[in-house]
Structure 1
Amino acid sequence: MDAKFSSSDGINLTGRILFLSLTGILAVSAFLLDLGAGRSFLSNANLTLPFLLSAFATWAAGLKVIPILRSLKAGQVIREDGPQAHLKKAGTPTMGGIFVVPVGVAIALLMTGFTPNVLAVSLLTLSYGFIGWLDDWQILRRRSNKGITPKQKLALQVGFGGLFCLWALFNNQSVDITNVLLPFGLMLPLGLLFWAIAWFTLVAESNASNLTDGLDGLAGGTGAIALLALGAVLAPNHPELMVFCASLSGSFLGFLGHNHNPARVFMGDTGSLALGGALAATAILTQSLFILLILSLIFLAETVSVIAQVGYYKATKDEKGIGKRLFKMAPLHHHLELSGWTETRVVGWFYGIAGILALLCLVVF
């Protein structure tokens, strides 16, 4: 008797196709960028080798860690007020960032010989991952959506971000990092204002990537694209941070081998906060805050949708204290879901937009 093809089979197949397509595009892009720049594949200073090593190592680590998370009953607690289609995801292991982030960081450190800049961005990334782990652990322990309080999370982000900025302020850099690179070689000198912007960026970027982590493969895929593009732009002047970006990009891609629709594990705050921290810290040390803004436009749109939703609801409250909603649900990816888009369609479109933004940065910087 022939097996019947269900709609869920089609969605699952689309998820695999998206993952394989992204894998191929990023791997070929890394190789072509190295080839065009004359960088040897066998040297430590290229995009391709750390990218591929991290992708395979993270995927292999997931084979070991995911069953452990499942045995520890580290299952995701799903919001009851979220999209009803997500309720079936309850119990899927979360906190996958505990193997994604350390693998990428370790490979970057080993391949760059623990250079000061890579060590600094690695520590910031691990610190933000630690904040996420605290939040994830409290959620799992309490079996609710409430981890550490928003004030506690913000205080830790501000604290670790401040320490990173202090290090960057007093460490001798090869360039004046308070000058921000603009398109076509132009520079914007920010002076002391740079440090306030940098500190804010660390906190904002980590929270923005955290808000984007709401669909199977969404944050991991868009983050992998942004990291690889940032590494490619930095390659001529910051080869050691190019390796860091390539390694983290590969690590998040390797994670997608387990996280693409239907996800077998979620990264949790452990991974999403670290992702934003890695992007921001690297941009701060390389005059790349404007580049980061372009690469992070998806993260920004997700964040703005939440701010707009909350602000509009408060502004339109009636005498009963009930306001109107600007979106069907925030962040933006949930609004698109409730408008009839499938998860894979949302993720596919966001991948495409992230790819266009990456290409734009490679052209104008």
Structure 2
Amino acid sequence: MDAKLSPEQGLNISGIALASLLAVGLGVAAFFWDWVGNRVPWQSTSLTLPLLLCALGAGIAGYWVIPLLQVLKTGQIIREDGPQAHLKKAGTPTMGGIFFIPVAVIAACIMSNFAKEVLAVSALTLSYGFIGWIDDWQILRRKSNKGISPKMKLALQIIFAAVFCLWLMFNQPSNITNIALPWVSLSLPLGLLFWPLAGFVLVAESNATNLTDGIDGLAAGTVAIALLALGALIAPTSPGLMVFCAALSGSCLGFLAHNRNPARVFMGDTGSLALGGALAAVALLTNSLVALFILSGIFFVETLSVMAQVSYYKATKGPDGKGKRLFKMAPLHHHLELTGWSELQVVSVFYIIATILAAICLA
């Protein structure tokens, strides 16, 4: 018999309180890392100002865009085989990425004085957001959970990844193919093998972030933490991309004001694919792949749970064509829900884990 975790047990917190704690925590962290880096927090080339401005901008934009999404009838289609508690979310507007992603991109480009690396990362982010928008639109048009085909989505991701890698090849130093190993002052020379790895990272990170977006506030909060930590890490060598990370982290917080439990809007693939692409692109430009792997620990585990579920089901398939399930449901956050965790408990624990991973990277 499975142990149940009731709302009265363990951590019990409201959605607005959890989102507020995260916002305050990231604001304090941004101010602290500006102080450590001898940066003035209220100047554009800092972590604090882009974070706060984009949080405010995305939050305000949501009050205008969400009613418009409702008028356009962009209500989310909920999987019938998912957690039954999610069925009440049917009709909640999706495609929220169309307002909080552009807020961050525009602010980052302006505050970085249109630095070429920021423009490149912004283009990749918007490109992946466009793929997500096509998928979201097809889901809404067909009124089903199936958007564009997985092969088409993957092909588009690979094409945009290839274009970004091509730009990277001709606009970055030759040592870009040497993967820096933190804490040991060594690097791993990959040579030509770096480029297929770079393409894989872009595609894998965007899909991993997409899989994590399944509970109110989960993807927005965990990505906000990862982005700010990455921004603080690269600040000494890449001030423009630091601003980009802080701006996008702030936009996630502004979106979280509407997406925290109970959510008034979902980011959809429009937002989740863009966020994953942004994290990967910044890491590639700044030679921070090892840090990205650590910061993406939650996204990696979520993806691994899906892969393990599918593999185990196929390996145990009997004559009747049915196999056994390793988890009650994948990704992992749905498994935890079905074992008795509330959405807020799952999100709270994942926020804590994301914060620990960020601390490890910045230690």
Which whole-Å CA distance do the structure 1 matches of 2:203 and 2:36 have between them?
A: 35
Give how far 1:12 is off: 10
Give how far 1:42 is off: 2.9
- 1:46-195 alignment, distance < 5 Å: 46-173=46-173, 176-184=175-183, 185-195=185-195
Give how far 1:178 is off: 1.2
Which whole-Å CA distance do the structure 2 matches of 1:191 and 1:172 have between them?
A: 14
Which whole-Å CA distance do the structure 2 matches of 1:302 and 1:37 have between them?
A: 33
Secondary structure of 1:41's counterpart equals coil
Which whole-Å CA distance do the structure 2 matches of 1:51 and 1:92 have between them?
A: 27
Give how far 1:35 is off: 1.0
Which whole-Å CA distance do the structure 1 matches of 2:71 and 2:343 have between them?
A: 27
Which whole-Å CA distance do the structure 2 matches of 1:188 and 1:291 have between them?
A: 14
Give how far 1:189 is off: 1.9
Q: CA RMSD in A?
A: 1.4
Which whole-Å CA distance do the structure 1 matches of 2:229 and 2:191 have between them?
A: 27
Secondary structure of 2:14's counterpart equals helix
Q: Which residue of 2 aligns with 1:3?
A: none
Q: Which residue of 1 aligns with 2:321?
A: 321
- 1:239-278 alignment, distance < 5 Å: 239-278=239-278
Give how far 1:172 is off: 3.6
Q: Which residue of 1 aligns with 2:311?
A: 311
* Consecutive unaligned residues in structure 1, runs of 5 or more: 1-6
Report the residue type matching 1:150 in the other structure: P
Tell whether the 8 Å contact from 2:131 to 2:156 is kept in structure 1 after alignment.
yes
Tell whether the 8 Å contact from 2:97 to 2:271 is kept in structure 1 after alignment.
yes
The count of aligned residue pairs is: 354
Secondary structure of 2:94's counterpart equals coil
Q: Which residue of 2 aligns with 1:344?
A: 344
Secondary structure of 1:38's counterpart equals coil
Q: Which residue of 1 aligns with 2:3?
A: none
- 1:14-53 alignment, distance < 5 Å: 14-53=14-53
Which whole-Å CA distance do the structure 1 matches of 2:70 and 2:256 have between them?
A: 18
Deviating more after overlay: 250-259 vs 36-45: 36-45
Tell whether the 8 Å contact from 1:12 to 1:261 is kept in structure 2 after alignment.
no
Tell whether the 8 Å contact from 1:223 to 1:252 is kept in structure 2 after alignment.
yes
Tell whether the 8 Å contact from 1:50 to 1:247 is kept in structure 2 after alignment.
yes
Provide, for residues 168-220 of structure 1, a one-character-per-residue CA deviation record: whole Å limited to 9, x for no partner.
001144x7221222121332222111111110000000000000000000000
Which whole-Å CA distance do the structure 2 matches of 1:109 and 1:220 have between them?
A: 21
Alpha carbons of structure 1 residues 328 and 15: separation in structure 2 relative to 1, 3 Å: same
Q: Which residue of 2 aligns with 1:294?
A: 294
Relative to the length of structure 1, the TM-score reads: 0.95
Tell whether the 8 Å contact from 1:12 to 1:262 is kept in structure 2 after alignment.
no
Give how far 1:13 is off: 5.7
Secondary structure of 1:176's counterpart equals helix
Which whole-Å CA distance do the structure 2 matches of 1:269 and 1:12 have between them?
A: 29
Alpha carbons of structure 1 residues 142 and 12: separation in structure 2 relative to 1, 3 Å: farther
Tell whether the 8 Å contact from 2:12 to 2:345 is kept in structure 1 after alignment.
no
* Consecutive unaligned residues in structure 2, runs of 5 or more: 1-6
Which whole-Å CA distance do the structure 1 matches of 2:135 and 2:255 have between them?
A: 20
Give how far 1:283 is off: 0.5
Report the residue type matching 2:68 in the other structure: I
